[in-house]
Structure 1
Amino acid sequence: MFMYKKALLIYNIKAGQEEIQDQLGLIASELVPLAHTFMFIQTLEKGEAETLCESHGSEIDLLLIVGGDGTVHECINGLMKLPEDNRPTVAILPAGTCNDFSRSLQIRTIEEAIAAIKVGAHQRLDIGEANQRYFTNFIGLGLITEASQAKEGELKDKWGKIGYMVSALQSLKNPNLFTYNLKTDSETFEGEAVMVLAMNGHYLGTTGLFVENNQMNDGLIDIYILKEAGFSLLKNVYNKSRSNTEKEWLREAEDVQVIRTSSFQLETNDQQLADSDGELYLEAPLTVSMHEKALDFIYAEETNNT
C-alpha cells in the first residue's frame, strides 16, 4: 500500500550544498516506493519552482522540496496561490546553506528528512503574507537586510554558513538607523531602530537566536524591534545563549522591544529594502498578516517542539 498517490520532487541543483546531485540517488531509492506516481523536476531558473508548484500543486498529495531557503520560499509562494483544500503536504529535504525553516521542523539533513517522510508525521503550520507575497520563516528590514546584501555573491559561495556570520558581523560595524511607524490591530509603535524583524520560525542563520518557544500554528507572529546594534546586541545574544527561558532572556535584553500580533503595518522614513526568508525584493511600507495553519508540513516527530 502506497503512502501517497502522487508525489512531486522539485530540486535546485544550484542550492548551497555541492553534493546535492549525489544525494538524489539516495532520495530516489528511499522515497520513490512511497508513492504510486513519483515525478522529478529540476529547476533551471529563478522563479521556476513557484510556477511549477502553482501549476502542479493541486494534482499531487506530496511535494518534496530539495534545496535551500530560497527554493522553499519559491515553492510556498506557488502553493499559496491554490485553494486551501488543493494544497499538498510539504516535505523539505534541506540542501541549502542555512536551511532555517527545516530546522524549525527538527530536520537538519536530507537523511533526517527521509526518515521523517517515512514516518509521515505532519502538521498544519502558519504562513505569513507581506505585500501579497508569502514567507515561512521571517520578514525584516534594517540589519537583517544589510547582512543578506553583504552575504550575496562571493561570501556565500566561498564560505557558506561562515559567510553568513561574517556578513552579519560586518553589518554591526556601521548600522543604519531609521525611523519606523508600526501599527497592529490595537497599538501603534514609533521610534528609531536598526532592525525590525518579524519571526514565524525558530532559526535565523542556523542559530536559534530569538524565539525557540514560539508557536508556528497559532496565527501569531513575533516582532523584534532592535533599537541599537554593536555591544548591546552582542550582549543580548550572549544572555540569550545562557538563559533557560525566553522570559528570562527578555528581562535581561537591552534595546529590544517584542510585540506579538496577527497582523501589522510597517512604514519607514526612507526607502528600506525588506528581507523575506533571505530573498530581497520587497520594500517598506509593508502590510503583513498571518494565514493560520495554511500548509501541511512533514516534521521529525520524535524531537518536534513546535
Structure 2
Amino acid sequence: MTIFYSKILLVCNGKAGRGELEINLMEVTPPLLDICDALTVHKTKDKDDAEKICRETGQEYDLVVIMGGDGTVHEAVNGLARLSLKPKLAILPGGTCNDFARSLNIPMNMGQAVETITASQYEKDIDIVKAGDRYFSNFWGTGLVSKTSDNIDAGSKNVLGRLSYYISAFQSIQDPELLNVTITANGKVYREEVVMLLAANGRSIGANPLPASIDLEDGLIDIYMVKKTGFPLLKEFFMIRSTGEVSDPTNDIIHIQAPAADIHLDEKEKVDMDGELYEEQNQTLEVLKHHLRLIVGEDK
C-alpha cells in the first residue's frame, strides 16, 4: 500500500553531469509528486551543502530523498543523525559505487529505485555509527583502504567508474605500509601490526560485497584487522572472488563484533569514512542502534 507524505525533500548532487541530472530529475520527480502534497528539490552547490540542508531543515519533512553517490549520502546522514526529530530517509543511487544503497538492496536503475519509494513496501530502522563528532553509515577504514581511496584520480573515477577503485588498489598494495593499532572492545585490548583496519556497518566497498554476515540492524560494528600475512587473502577477497564470503583459518584477519570500540593509532593517519577522507589518530566508534529509518529494497 502506497504511503502518502505531506512534505518530501529531494536533495540531489548538483555536481553531477548536467544532462544526467536533468534526465534523472525528469524520471523521479513525477512519481514523487504523486505521493506527496509538496516536493522541495535542493541541488547541492558546494561541499557539505547536503549536510547543511538536512541538518537545518530535515525535521520539517516527512521524507528526505537523497539522489547521489556515497559522498552525498554521507553528508546527508551527518545532517540527519544529529536531529532529535528525524525524517524517514530514502536513497536514489546516482554515484560511482553507491555502496550504502547496495547494502540496502536498492536497485541501481533509477526508475526501479524510485519505485521502492513510491511502493514503500520495505522499511528498516538502520544502525548508524558515531565516530568522534562525525557519523558513518557504511564503513570506516585506514591503512590500505584509505590509501586506495587517496590514490583515486577524480578524472579516472568519472570515466572508469568502479574499475578505478580496483586499479588504484593494485597500485597501492605492491608494498603495503604497516600500522600499529590498539583497539579496546568488549572489555578486551587488541594490539596488532596491520596493513588495513576496517570497521564495517554496511556490506559493500567499491561495489564489492563484504561478508554477508554483516548486519545493519544488530547494534554491532564489524571490525577487521588485516595483518601483513593476511594480505594475499585480502587481495583474493577484494580483487578476484568478490563473493561476499571470506575464510581465514590462519587468523591473519582478526574479526571483532562490538557495540563500541576505542581505536588508537601510533601516528595520525588518513581515515576513509564512507568514501570521504579525514585525518585521525584516536577515534571512538559507537553504534547508534536503529538510529535512522530507511526505505529499502527487497532482501535478496
TM-score of the aligned structures, taking structure 1 as reference length = 0.91
Deviations 1:71-108 (Å, cap 9, x if unpaired)? 0000010001110xx11111100000000000011112
- Cα distance in 1 between the residues matched to 2:235 and 2:18: 29
Give, in angstroms, the shift of residue 232 of structure 1. Answer: 3.7
Residues 161, 235 of structure 1: alpha-carbon distance in 2 compared, 3 angstrom cutoff: closer
Deviations 1:98-125 (Å, cap 9, x if unpaired)? 0000001111232221110012121110
Count of equivalent residues: 296
Deviations 1:20-48 (Å, cap 9, x if unpaired)? 32111011122111111111010100011
Deviations 1:147-179 (Å, cap 9, x if unpaired)? 000014233133221111111111111211011
Give, in angstroms, the shift of residue 2 of structure 1. Answer: 6.4
After superposition, where does 1:209-228 map in structure 2 within 5 Å?
Answer: 210-228=210-228
2:270 maps to 273
Residues 71, 156 of structure 1: alpha-carbon distance in 2 compared, 3 angstrom cutoff: same
1:117 maps to 117
- Cα distance in 2 between the residues matched to 1:6 and 1:148: 37
After superposition, where does 1:1-306 map in structure 2 within 5 Å?
Answer: 3-15=4-16, 19-83=20-84, 86-107=85-106, 108-120=108-120, 121-208=122-209, 210-228=210-228, 230-237=231-238, 241=242, 246=245, 249-252=246-249, 255-301=252-298, 304=299
* Paired-residue identity, %: 35
Unaligned residue ranges in structure 1 (runs of 5+): none
Give the aligned residue type for 1:218: D
Give, in angstroms, the shift of residue 53 of structure 1. Answer: 0.3
Structure in which a larger fraction of residues adopt strand = 2
Report the more deviating stretch, 19-28 or 7-16: 7-16
8 A contact 2:130–2:288 mirrored in 1? yes
- Cα distance in 1 between the residues matched to 2:18 and 2:206: 15
Measured on the aligned residues, the alpha-carbon RMSD in Å equals 2.1
8 A contact 2:89–2:294 mirrored in 1? yes
- Cα distance in 2 between the residues matched to 1:239 and 1:188: 33
Give the aligned residue type for 1:100: D
8 A contact 1:276–1:282 mirrored in 2? no
8 A contact 2:59–2:83 mirrored in 1? yes
8 A contact 1:16–1:95 mirrored in 2? no
Report the more deviating stretch, 250-259 or 32-41: 250-259
Deviations 1:1-32 (Å, cap 9, x if unpaired)? 96111000000032489623211101112211
